[in-house]
Chains A and B, each alone.
Chain A
């Protein structure tokens, strides 16, 4: 293991090192610049192009095609997508699923990670393997039986008017939590292993209960890892498409990412509006990208560092 967990945390935040040979530009350095500039432009073109089309009226792109000088830029596609497809409603759905799912996942995963990494419970390695491997399974391996399980489990009517786990937002929270638990337990248990044992021993001498050691001693020290994981999970669960498509049949109950598919059907004749809707759906992830990119990358680094 070349990277320790804490190294990965700090390194992901570190600014790129300055090298002594920065002053004299070599041929290699110039060609590297040219290559990177070219690639970066190529990389943002699809996004900017979609934005450019979404900002133009349909009449104009019908007449001139997408690749043409814009005569008029307008937000009307965005307002049309927003009002006619009830986007606000889908955003609310996304929040109602993502926020509880992230909170519950982190709460449960930190407890399990604490138990397997800080307390010498029996079979701790076996349990850790179970969690980790579960998260690596392709979702399609479990979806067929899961779908039947969801149809068989009854829930109270305040959770779903159909009375089933299937087609309910509660069910979507359950599967997102269950599936993401594995990754979070893996990351958090690695992180907790770096906390000195002496802390627990001192707390035990002081008569601290297990809960106190978990909640008031260990958890505060895990804040960096929890923040990174929260960013990662929020993005992943918000971006989830597969679970919502397969486990929710009522279009109205779907979160925004999977509702894009309905919007595609609704505005099939007006691609500009679909583009506008898709870009609006990306706003929360773009906010994370701008504000919390380092947290996101730190989370990925944590996940890959052990091993």
Chain B
């Protein structure tokens, strides 16, 4: 019975057309009725298993983050659902897990030295991605899309860094930035002991040095996304603009760019999320230790769980800060992607 239905989709579609209006009229009801008990079990498994994994390992931790951020849990012992004021702790002993109110947030905002630098650095990261990497990637895409000779080679080589892991990128750029024998310092003659520039160590420089690495990769990513968008632009639009006497600059900004709106939203979302996720480059460059000038929210979160003293509550609070910020681009993307279906 099932084997009869299997051969090629083409013949299936053909006979489907013959069924015609009668089938479409009762489409919705039929589909429900047509599911046998076995079908229902299969359906439940098909949707249930992925949903369960997504809920258990992504959404549950995300919500647990919010809950734990109001506790003082250090990972030792249970979490009590009582206020921390009810516990008298002896000095030197770790606090039990208890309800801590907004103390973690308060500490992060006022006492924790890395918090505001981290926020500033994440913001700079985002700013550089928006102001440097994105326009650069867009420029690459526009030039390649014009069909320059050899544009395939340009595209491939500019895209190469996107394929590499960020850990690897961090390592290969160390040769460029090495203070005593690196590419930059040797070329600009600052490789003597007296005048070396410590690109990755100097807290005023290292963020910018790492942002060069990050943009090196991000521009290729943006380029590919824009290329996909540009290739889908109806050529007759451009022809019409040219006939009307628009130059290349006007054609792009007034005619082509507005049609790229969906891609622009995707790129904005990707950019914000990537700036919040920024971690690997900094971690590999600082060899796993916090390094002044390179504080990031993601690094602070990781520090609170991999260190010797775990600060689960505090780390969760930092995670919630990331969560709240990331909800903005996430909702933007969801609104764009799903508003049709919602109607």
Surface stretch bound by B, among A47-55, A71-79, A84-92, A155-163: A47-55
Given A112-B50, A139-B277, A140-B297, A49 contacting B140 (CB threshold 8 A):
no
A293 to chain B, nearest CB (A): 6
What secondary structure prevails in chain A residues at the interface with B?
helix
What secondary structure prevails in chain B residues at the interface with A?
helix
Name the contact of B148 in the complex, choosing from A36, A45, A111, A129 (C-beta under 8 A). Answer: A36
Name the contact of A271 in the complex, choosing from B53, B175, B298 (C-beta under 8 A). Answer: B175
Measured CA separation A238–B163 after assembly (Å): 10
Q: Which of B108-153 contact A (CB under 8 A)?
A: 140, 143-149, 151-153
Q: Which of B276-317 contact A (CB under 8 A)?
A: 276-277, 279-280, 283-284, 287-288, 297-298, 301-302, 304-306, 312, 315-316
**Are A221 and B342 closer than 8 Å at their CB atoms?**
no
The residues of B with any CB-CB pair to A shorter than 8 Å are 1-2, 4-6, 9, 12-17, 19, 23, 27-28, 30-32, 34-36, 38-39, 42-43, 45-47, 49-51, 53-62, 64-65, 68, 75, 140, 143-149, 151-154, 156-161, 163-168, 171-176, 178, 180-183, 186-187, 191, 216, 220-221, 224-225, 227-229, 231-233, 235, 248, 259-263, 265-267, 269-270, 273, 276-277, 279-280, 283-284, 287-288, 297-298, 301-302, 304-306, 312, 315-316, 318-320, 322-323, 326, 329-330, 333-334, 336-338, 340-342
A216: interface (CB < 8 Å): yes
Given A185-B50, A202-B15, A210-B43, A43 contacting B216 (CB threshold 8 A):
yes
A209: interface (CB < 8 Å): yes
Q: Could you give 28 example pairs across A and B, Cβ below 8 Å?
A: A33-B148, A39-B154, A46-B176, A50-B175, A67-B181, A111-B45, A119-B31, A130-B51, A138-B298, A139-B279, A141-B62, A149-B64, A174-B57, A178-B53, A178-B57, A195-B9, A197-B27, A200-B16, A201-B23, A202-B19, A206-B5, A242-B280, A275-B175, A289-B163, A297-B227, A304-B270, A306-B337, A307-B337
Top 6 closest A-B pairs, CB basis?
A: A198-B16, A208-B5, A202-B16, A111-B46, A239-B165, A301-B228
**Are A3 and B280 closer than 8 Å at their CB atoms?**
no
Measured CA separation A92–B186 after assembly (Å): 39
Measured CA separation A271–B265 after assembly (Å): 41
Given contacts A3-B262, A43-B161, 18 further A-B contacts (CB under 8 A): A46-B173, A66-B183, A112-B50, A121-B47, A140-B322, A175-B57, A196-B13, A202-B19, A205-B19, A209-B42, A239-B164, A239-B165, A241-B165, A245-B306, A261-B283, A271-B174, A288-B163, A297-B228
CB-based nearest A residue for B330: A136
Chain A residues with Cβ below 8 Å from B61 are 141-146, 149
Chain B residues with Cβ below 8 Å from A44 are 157, 160
Chain B residues with Cβ below 8 Å from A148 are 75, 312
**Are B178 and A137 closer than 8 Å at their CB atoms?**
no
Chain A residues with Cβ below 8 Å from B287 are 261, 264-265
A191: interface (CB < 8 Å): no
Given A134-B59, A286-B163, A182 contacting B172 (CB threshold 8 A):
no
Q: Which of A225-243 contact B (CB under 8 A)?
A: 235, 238-242
**Are A61 and B181 closer than 8 Å at their CB atoms?**
yes
Measured CA separation A145–B73 after assembly (Å): 11
Given A11-B231, A112-B51, A199-B12, A49 contacting B259 (CB threshold 8 A):
no
A115: interface (CB < 8 Å): yes
**Are A138 and B15 closer than 8 Å at their CB atoms?**
no
CB-based nearest A residue for B278: A138
Name the contact of B305 in the complex, choosing from A3, A47, A147, A202 (C-beta under 8 A). Answer: A147
A284 to chain B, nearest CB (A): 10
**Are B62 and A137 closer than 8 Å at their CB atoms?**
yes
Given A209-B36, A212-B5, A65 contacting B186 (CB threshold 8 A):
yes
**Are B284 and A144 closer than 8 Å at their CB atoms?**
no
Measured CA separation A104–B57 after assembly (Å): 15
Name the contact of A2 in the complex, choosing from B47, B151, B232 (C-beta under 8 A). Answer: B232
Name the contact of B302 in the complex, choosing from A142, A143, A175 (C-beta under 8 A). Answer: A143
**Are B183 and A67 closer than 8 Å at their CB atoms?**
yes
CB-based nearest B residue for A3: B232
Chain B residues with Cβ below 8 Å from A22 are 147, 149
**Are A199 and B9 closer than 8 Å at their CB atoms?**
yes
Given A67-B183, A304-B263, A3 contacting B147 (CB threshold 8 A):
no
**Are A125 and B341 closer than 8 Å at their CB atoms?**
yes
Given A49-B183, A66-B178, A179-B58, A136 contacting B333 (CB threshold 8 A):
yes
**Are B171 and A278 closer than 8 Å at their CB atoms?**
yes
**Are B53 and A108 closer than 8 Å at their CB atoms?**
yes
Measured CA separation A41–B18 after assembly (Å): 59
Chain A residues with Cβ below 8 Å from B154 are 36, 39-40
A93: interface (CB < 8 Å): no
Name the contact of A145 in the complex, choosing from B1, B65, B260 (C-beta under 8 A). Answer: B65
**Are A141 and B322 closer than 8 Å at their CB atoms?**
yes
CB-based nearest B residue for A11: B231
Chain A residues with Cβ below 8 Å from B283 are 241, 245, 261
A270: interface (CB < 8 Å): no
